[in-house]
């Protein structure tokens, strides 16, 4: 009942999505991606700040997804304004056909309008719901705490039968510390050096407490298991090619992979 109410209030009818080909690789922006570009198979979907990297024009992703509502806010925080402007400038220079997936909340935002004529915007429902019936109708998805969740659902909706994941380290918990009572995180991406940052609630702008941060992580990893069950029901195989990734929901290519303390 809760999911139905959310859908009635937040979701909108969407057209059936169609992808070309059987295989797609989703590129997370984790530090491991720097050495894994050779593992790409089929079409490519990139996310978030990937467009600001040097490899954007080399990889030329066919699909691109941004979910974080902070990018679409009317009055975003200063660092978000800088990030959004850098992404927009990259999108304006795109010289190949690219589909940009944005949630309906982004409609009318600058990010959805300042684009190359070769970039097509397709909106989707990021409404947080449970139930394969609603997923099949593209009316919502498991809680999209991370952009990878939306990417996986979009890939399934487009009809890809094999979905590969790269750059999904998801090891944030290993890089958390307290600094004068504030929760700080050493945030790493393949395109830049690690930076110390504070995580904020994207809606309120309030700093997250430690329990809130771990609750967000828990929702993320749970969503992957929900997606895996949905993918299996659709005959879709999701394969995580990210070495040492902490996602435990999908098939891994290296089952012999172990942590150092297990090997000792």
Q: Are 132 and 96 in contact (CB under 8 A)?
A: no
- Residue 97 forms part of a structural domain: yes
For the cut 70, the answer to whether the pLDDT of residue 260 exceeds it is no
- Residue 204 forms part of a structural domain: no
- Residue 133 forms part of a structural domain: yes
For the cut 90, the answer to whether the pLDDT of residue 147 exceeds it is yes
Q: What's the pLDDT at 96?
A: 97
Q: What's the pLDDT at 263?
A: 47
- Residue 206 forms part of a structural domain: no
> Average pLDDT for residues 198-203, to the nearest whole number?
78
> Average pLDDT for residues 129-133, to the nearest whole number?
95
- Residue 254 forms part of a structural domain: no
> Average pLDDT for residues 146-164, to the nearest whole number?
97
Which structural domain range is residue 128 located in? 2-14+21-168+226-234
- Residue 39 forms part of a structural domain: yes
| Band of pLDDT at residue 20, cut at 50, 70 and 90 | confident
The total domain count for the chain is: 1
Q: What's the pLDDT at 72?
A: 78
For the cut 70, the answer to whether the pLDDT of residue 68 exceeds it is yes
- Residue 115 forms part of a structural domain: yes
Number of residues that make up the chain:
264
Distance CA 253, CA 235 (A): 19
97-102 CB contacts, 8 Å cutoff, 24+ apart: 97/62, 98/60, 98/61, 98/62, 98/63, 98/64, 99/62, 99/63, 99/64, 100/64, 100/65, 100/66, 101/63, 101/64, 101/65, 101/66, 101/150, 101/154, 102/65, 102/66, 102/72
Model confidence, pTM: 0.92
Q: How many CB atoms lie within 10 A of CB 107?
A: 13
- Residue 221 forms part of a structural domain: no
For the cut 90, the answer to whether the pLDDT of residue 28 exceeds it is yes
């Amino acid at each position: 009942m809760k999911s139905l109410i959310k859908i009635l209030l937040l979701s909108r009818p969407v057209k059936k999505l169609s992808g070309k080909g059987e295989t797609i690789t989703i590129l997370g922006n984790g530090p491991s991606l720097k050495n894994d570009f050779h593992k790409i198979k089929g079409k490519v979907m990139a996310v978030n700040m990937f467009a600001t990297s040097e490899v954007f024009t080399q990889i030329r992703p066919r699909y691109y997804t941004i979910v974080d509502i902070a990018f679409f806010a009317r009055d975003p925080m200063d660092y978000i304004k800088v990030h959004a402007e850098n992404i927009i400038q990259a999108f304006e220079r795109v010289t190949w056909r690219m589909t940009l997936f944005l949630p309906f909340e982004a409609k009318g935002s600058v990010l959805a309008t300042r684009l190359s004529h070769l970039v097509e915007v397709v909106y989707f429902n990021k409404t947080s719901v449970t139930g394969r019936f609603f997923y099949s109708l593209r009316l919502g998805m498991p809680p999209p705490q991370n952009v990878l969740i939306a990417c996986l659902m979009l890939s399934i909706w487009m009809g890809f039968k094999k979905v590969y994941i790269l750059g999904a380290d998801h090891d944030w918990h290993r890089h958390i510390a307290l600094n004068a009572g504030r929760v700080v995180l050493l945030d790493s991406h393949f395109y830049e050096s690690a930076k110390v940052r504070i995580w904020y609630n994207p809606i309120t702008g309030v700093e997250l407490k430690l329990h809130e941060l771990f609750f967000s992580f828990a929702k993320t990893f749970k969503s992957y298991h929900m997606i895996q069950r949905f993918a299996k029901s659709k005959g879709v195989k999701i394969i995580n090619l990210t070495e040492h990734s902490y996602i435990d929901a999908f098939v891994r290519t290296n089952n012999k992979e172990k942590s150092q303390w297990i090997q000792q």
